[in-house]
Amino acid sequence: MRKGEPILSVAVPTAGGRVLDYLPPLQGSVPRAGMRVAVPVARREALGVVLGPGRCGAPPGVRLRRIRRVLDPSPLLTRELLDLIAWAAAYYRCPLGAAVGAALPAPLRRLGRAARVATVWRLTPAGRAVTVADLARRAPRQAEVMARLQATGSLAAEAVAARGWRAVLAALARKGWVEEAQAQAEGHAAPVPGEAPALLPEQRRAVGEVAAALGRFAPFLLEGVTGSGKTAVYLALAEAAVAAGGQALMLVPEIALAPQLVARLRARFGEASVAVLHSGLAPGVRAAAWEAARSGAAAVVVGTRSAVFAPLARPALVVVDEEHDPAYFEDAGPLRYAARDVAVMRARRAGVPVVLGSATPSLESLHNAREGRYRHLRLTRRARGEAPVRVELVDIRGRPLDGGLSPPLIARIRRHLEAGGQVLLFRNRRGFAPVLICDACGWVAECPRCTSRLVWHRGAGRVRCHHCGHERPVPERCPSCGDVALRARGHGTERVEETLAARFPGEAIVRLDRDATRRRGALERALDAARRGAARILVGTQMIAKGHDFPGVTLVGVLDADQGLFSADFRGPERMAQLLVQVAGRAGRAGRPGEVVVQTRQPEHPLLRALLAGGYGAFAEAALAERRAAGLPPYGALALVRAEAPRAEQAEAFLDAARRLLEPPPSGVEVLGPAPAPMERRAGLHRWQLLLQAPSRRALGRALDRLAPALDGLPEARRVRWALDVDPAELY
């Protein structure tokens, strides 16, 4: 160590997520906080991020090692972001070094200089008009690349290099069919032409209130019925934030649902000023978008949950669209967080307003609004003036169902089709039938590796486990008694589609679920057919309930509302109500009156009644009362320790040891378990859990202070895979 040399504290994601002390590199200047560095760890070289001055934590006599190289010319992570990550690490009980790693996009987690400018190849208008089939005879390689581009819109330069396509693309460029462009300009949706409509009074009021809060922390809940024009509010707010010299961060649950938003943002702010961040991007493109956010070149940053950790040069506004969406929970990896909650914390620390928008807000956010912590803004009218939809329950107890459809629903479908309407049917189960059963002996096809039943996929001729991916051919006879009378029980989307095809021959049907849209471009084609009205009947899982605008739909049918009401998870009813309202919102959007038919075997269920009689608000009221009585969030705080192991005793022993760490528990905290998880086995591993229930986050924090640091050191921990979820999304 040289005289006067600083010691630096460096987060090392791979070294168990630890924070270690190092000396600066021999050459060059001392790296600043937020820069990435290469450091020696044992015999390897690892990526680190400088956090600041070291704490001299090394025991005396230990020789500090030196940073080998500095990877970034300027800090990649801003001070604001480093502080946010430190908060998240502490709150979600994740080692700081691991949290820093989790906040970095994958391409920046590698050793090596960040690709600061990435390029993509994309089609020119002339290239879009090329008929690939004609080209195939003369130039098969060119045809292959053109087909690829026409399907995907663009190709990252890295992918091109990896496939040896450079020469082909150069030839295509000479023909004027492709061009190389800056990566963050990539985007599939066409810009939306024309002026934005004048805001309606409710929209104007919402924009005014939030805009008045620019420059300080202020949380808002924007509750706007489907079609009320929340997007226009976000756009106007982004404009205000940018006009004030700042950047807007907008989170969306899935990027596939945001093409409209992205297109409108780009139309307004210009291509280069909108950075899009999600995990599906090619590494170079993602790094470039991240850089555009960090440098301030991007006025608006749109991204999925991990974008909550995007660096911003001048944060001015945070928006979380569809804030109730479960996609905001990150429940894998070292940092298990709720992006919506981190977004609110980020806004608070950065001193900027945050808008949580939804037609069906989470019970947590509604509670915060009722308690006065969030300002409650409402959009009660649909922007295009449609009448609200009419919802009707159909009691299907004891009724003969055909492919999951009751006679009244079938009659209704016929009427709407004859009147020229489009029909949307929602069934949250894919496959042909969720159960394959032997009529002779009662044998049921089950997954050998999970506590679950195999779903029959008739089109594929296979039975599949939806939890671990196990699959095999459909047995021809019962493996237990040899009988050939195997029968499907229950209805998945595949079966519903088949029934409809038989009932309504000649009507074009589109199925929207993960099976039907797996192939590249299939989802876009299906959505397009649905939107244009080319498909008269749409059948789908929750994929169909989200954000899409199907202007011709006049009837929505919900085939089974009961699934969520009796879910093992405490958020089950909330999710079901949200799905119901969202799917109902697809009806009658373009000025045609809409009808919704909900099939249920529980027509008297109080939550369902509340939802139907009083709408989502009444449902939320009733559901919050139940949560309060049970001490569940938002009235209490939960943490869940999960353990998986080849043998049940191993998982149980670990959680027993964890439980003993909490003996006696801090006052008010209840420790429940260890108990088998509702889904006891998955992918061959036994799953157990220990639930901590506390009256407040503070009380929970006291228990976690004792528990979290000690878990990894338990001898029993070596035999299990474990995870700690603070504020878990679900309990199984």
- Considering the complex, state which of residue 384 and residue 458 has its C-beta at the smaller distance from ligand ADP: 384
State how far the Cα of 566 lies from the Cα of 572, in Å rounded to an integer: 7
* Binding residue for ligand ADP, selected from 9, 203, 365, 650, defined by CB under 6 A: 203
Find the part of the chain contacting Zn ion (CB under 5 A) among 49-57, 431-439, 584-592, 694-702.
431-439
Residue 375 tokens read as 């300002």
Binding flag, residue 462, Zn ion (CB under 5 A): no
* Binding residue for ligand ADP, selected from 142, 154, 184, 231, defined by CB under 6 A: 231
Binding flag, residue 478, Zn ion (CB under 5 A): yes
Distance linking the first and last C-alpha atoms of the chain: 51
227 contacts which partner out of ligand ADP, Zn ion, none, CB within 5 to 8 A by kind?
A: ligand ADP
701 contacts which partner out of ligand ADP, Zn ion, none, CB within 5 to 8 A by kind?
A: none
- Considering the complex, state which of residue 105 and residue 547 has its C-beta at the smaller distance from ligand ADP: 547
Find the part of the chain contacting ligand ADP (CB under 6 A) among 229-237, 300-308, 400-408, 440-448.
229-237
CB of 688 to Zn ion, least distance (A): 18
SS (H, E, C) 338-373: EHHHHHHHHHHHHCCEEEEEECCCCHHHHHHHHCCC
Binding flag, residue 383, ligand ADP (CB under 6 A): yes
Binding flag, residue 438, Zn ion (CB under 5 A): yes
State how far the Cα of 313 lies from the Cα of 327, in Å rounded to an integer: 26
623 contacts which partner out of ligand ADP, Zn ion, none, CB within 5 to 8 A by kind?
A: none
**Are 689 and 642 spatial neighbours (Cβ–Cβ below 8 Å)?**
yes
CA 546 to the chain's CA centroid: 12
Find the part of the chain contacting Zn ion (CB under 5 A) among 67-75, 458-466, 612-620, 632-640.
458-466
Binding flag, residue 389, ligand ADP (CB under 6 A): no
Binding flag, residue 449, Zn ion (CB under 5 A): yes
Q: How big is the site for ligand ADP, counted in residues (CB under 6 A)?
A: 15
228 contacts which partner out of ligand ADP, Zn ion, none, CB within 5 to 8 A by kind?
A: ligand ADP
For residue 25, count other CB atoms closer than 10 A to its CB. Answer: 18
- Considering the complex, state which of residue 478 and residue 584 has its C-beta at the smaller distance from Zn ion: 478
CB of 478 to Zn ion, least distance (A): 3
For residue 567, count other CB atoms closer than 10 A to its CB. Answer: 18
Binding flag, residue 200, ligand ADP (CB under 6 A): yes
Indicate left, alpha or beta for 351 from its phi (over 0: left) and psi (-120 to 50: alpha).
left
Binding flag, residue 229, ligand ADP (CB under 6 A): yes
- Considering the complex, state which of residue 232 and residue 240 has its C-beta at the smaller distance from ligand ADP: 232
Closest CA to 487 of 474, 503, 469: 474
* Binding residue for ligand ADP, selected from 28, 53, 73, 197, defined by CB under 6 A: 197
424 burial type by CB count under 10 A (0-12 exposed, 13-18 middle, 19+ buried): buried
| CA 344 to each of CA 219, 317, 368, 546, 692: distance values in angstroms, whole numbers, following the listed order | 7, 11, 12, 23, 24
Secondary structure tally for the chain: helices H, strands E: 20, 30
* Binding residue for Zn ion, selected from 465, 527, 597, 611, defined by CB under 5 A: 465
Closest CA to 226 of 76, 35, 391: 391
Closest CA to 123 of 188, 64, 207: 188
Closest CA to 492 of 518, 511, 505, 520: 511
CB of 184 to ligand ADP, least distance (A): 24
Binding stretches for ligand ADP (CB under 6 A): 197-200, 203, 224, 226-232, 383-384
Binding stretches for Zn ion (CB under 5 A): 438, 440-441, 443, 447, 449-450, 465, 467-468, 470, 478, 480-481, 483
